Amino acid sequence: MNRLKYYIFSFLIVFCLQSCDKDFEEVNTNDYALTEINPALLFANAQRLTSGGFYEAEQTVVQQFVNAYNLGATAGFNFNEDNNIFNVPRWNDNYPGPVKFIEQAIELVKDDPTRSNLYNEIRIWRAYIYMTLVDTYGDVPYSEAGKAYISGLYYPKYDKDEVIYEDLYNEIKSATAALSPDKDQVREELFFGTSGSTAVQVEKWKKLGNSLLLRLGMRYSKLDPSKAASIVQEAFNGGVMATNADNAYILYNATYNNPLNNVIRTGNLYYFYLAEPFVNRLKASSDPRLKYIAGKYADPNQALAQTPDTTMANQFGFPIGYDQTSVRNAPGYRGTSGTGQNYSQVNLRVVGSATAPIFFVTNAQTKLLLAEATFRGWLPAGASSAMDYYKAGVKASMEEYSLYPTVPSPAIPVNAQDSYLSHPEVVYTNANALDRINTQYWIASFGNGAESFANFRRSGYPTLTPNNYNNNLQGGFARRFSYPNEESARNSESYQAAVASFGSDNPLTRIFWDKQ
């Protein structure tokens, strides 16, 4: 009897297995599942998620912005504190997002000759992302970054900052040279995908690649001037951005809001103010951009519901080195306003709008770098004068404001631009060339804190007085961000090796190109 039961049971198992196997693939296939990934869409998402900086981090270091309140968690670069909250954003905005998408997209297209333009555009933008990571932290995961899904590398090593830069130089050069109007058009990408033709798109990406190469070359200006000059000449000869139509930027909308402005629009608004050195510099030169950048509100905590006062004479930046209590002892203390401080905030209708663009590499920045390169004698015959590049860079910056919401076109008329350039605080001379050029770069890069911070360290301009709230920075400026605390736990072995190689992990440690 037991044997009969065994045979019956065995028969039933075989029958069921055969029945279950029939049409197995069809029955267990989800008709709506994603079976292929378009790498161009991964690339577009990487562009959209690329971070331009963080008001409370880079733009606070370079004294354009400040969180005036010292409430423990709010203490960071505003009070010379090494706070993980403000060290994290650039890392977390890039590695889990753009880096992951970029590396996956490259894996999908690198061996596909029909998508060579897509492949090389991705490589150029990959170089931009890693360049900002190196500029911010120094040694970072590079050769093994973003490879968890692709290669099972869950604990990437940190590569040396100078080694990464060497590879970025090669990547930008070779990717830019490989772009061809006879190859594929990439309509999905966000910078020039709607430019009309493959030839136009390729031309603009070549200019972007060479402009990024120019920026990279200028980073060597203190470390190795000869190398800087050589790279700058290569970039110039290749063809850099010529007009604002070449700018690399993202426009935002009601669905995808400007991520930089998210905090100052959705947090405690009365915490956030423009910094006194920035406002004073714009006021001292009667800068017509100020009305689009700054606004005074009767109650800072209700700024979103109010129309800002943009009168130049009424704009005052919050003084550096003070908090909400000690500011009462600051020279020219202006008191409180509503539930906040009686100082200028970001104009939330224009620069601080939820739909304001974010600029990454611009004609204005490029022209100003060319002005400095010309002044240093690094450009070949046939280049314009340093003064002409300087004037063109300032004008290009002013013309960008036409892309912001609520701003008329032209944002700043030509006669107002010319008047500004003739102001004693702005006019170019060889005696003050480096100061004037890089001060304008500082202004032109407002809203791109990563680049403001990098160029300030590289050039030493504008001349700013260190924040002496305490002596944590030994009377100087932060030179980099510390690594996120999470790295010491999640990627401990690589983190420890990086710190040992780098020498330390604090804001005073200089990255390779930032020599004293």
- Tell me the per-residue pLDDT of 207-243, one tens digit each, with 9 for 90 and over: 999 999 999 999 999 999 999 999 999 999 999 999 9
- pLDDT tens digits along 381-438: 889 999 999 999 999 999 999 999 999 999 999 999 999 999 999 999 999 999 999 9
**Is residue 276 a part of any domain in this protein?**
no
The 8 Å CB, 24+ separation contacts for 59-63 are: 59/446, 59/449, 59/452, 59/453, 60/275, 61/453, 61/456, 61/477, 61/478, 62/442, 62/449, 62/452, 62/453, 62/456, 62/464, 63/275, 63/276, 63/277, 63/278, 63/320, 63/464, 63/467
Residue 374 counted as domain residue: yes
The pLDDT, as a whole number, for residue 53 is: 87
Instruction: For residue 20, name the pLDDT band (cuts at 50, 70, 90).
Output: very low
Say if 369 falls within a structural domain. yes
- Residue 14 pLDDT class (50, 70, 90 cuts): very low
The string of pLDDT tens digits covering residues 295-320 is: 999 999 999 999 999 999 999 999 99
Let me know if residue 167 belongs to a domain: yes
> pLDDT averaged over the chain?
93
Bridge partners, 114 (sequence order): none
Least confident of 131-135, 265-269, 322-326, 367-371: 265-269
- 23 domain residue, yes or no: no
* 8 A C-beta contact, residue 270 and residue 277: no
pLDDT at 372: 98
CATH number of the domain bearing residue 363: 1.25.40.390
- pLDDT, greater one: 152 or 335: 335
Q: Are 301 and 268 spatial neighbours (Cβ–Cβ below 8 Å)?
A: yes
Please list, in sequence order, all residues whose beta carbon lies within 8 angstroms of the beta carbon of residue 180, skipping any fewer than 6 positions away: 116, 117, 202
Quote the pLDDT of residue 148: 85
- For residue 280, being part of any structural domain is answered with no
Distance, in Å, from the CA atom of 133 to the CA atom of 114, rounded to the nearest integer, reads 31
CA distance linking residue 223 with residue 339, whole number of Å? 48
pLDDT: is 272 or 11 the higher one? 272
Matching residue, tokens 């049971």: 9
pLDDT tens string 42-65: 999 999 999 888 999 999 999 999
pLDDT > 90 fraction of the chain, expressed in percent and rounded: 88
Asked whether residue 170 is domain-assigned, the answer is yes
Contact 309, 295 (CB under 8 A): yes
Residue 17 is predicted with a pLDDT of 41
Residue-number span of the structural domain to which 195 is assigned: 39-256+355-466
The total number of structural domains in the chain stands at 1
Q: Per-residue pLDDT tens for 348-373? A: 999 999 999 999 999 999 999 999 99
pLDDT at position 29 is: 45
pLDDT surpasses 70 at 25? no
- Does 138 map to a domain? yes
pLDDT confidence of residue 50: 95
For residue 84, what pLDDT is reported?
A: 95
- The pLDDT value recorded for residue 150 is 87
